[in-house]
Structure 1
Amino acid sequence: MSVRQSLLAILDQGPCYGYQLRAEFERRTGSGPALNVGQVYTTLERLERDGLVVKGGADEHGHVHYEITPDGREQARAWLRSADSPGSGARDDLATQVTLAATLPGADVDTLIRRHRARLMRDLERIERGLTDADDAADIPSRLSASRRDSRARADLAWLDSVEAQLTKGPYAAFPLSGASDRPRRGRPPKALSDAAN
Structure 2
Amino acid sequence: MSVKHALLALLARGESNTYQLRKDFLETTGQSWPLNIGQVYSTLQRLERDGLVSRGEKQPSQDGNSETEPFSLTEDGREELLKWWFTPVDREKPARSELVMKLALAASTPGVDVAKIVQTQRRNTMNALRDFTRLKVSATSSPAELPWQLVIENHIFMAEAELRWLDQIEGLVAAHQNGAAANAVSTTDTTALIERLSEVKK
**What range describes the TM-score normalised by the shorter chain of this pair?**
0.3 to 0.5
Which protein shows a greater Rg?
2
TM-score normalized by the length of structure 2: 0.44
TM-score normalized by the length of structure 1: 0.44
- Relative to its length, the structure with more helix (as a share) is 2
Q: Which has the higher contact order (CA 8 A, sep 6+)?
A: 1
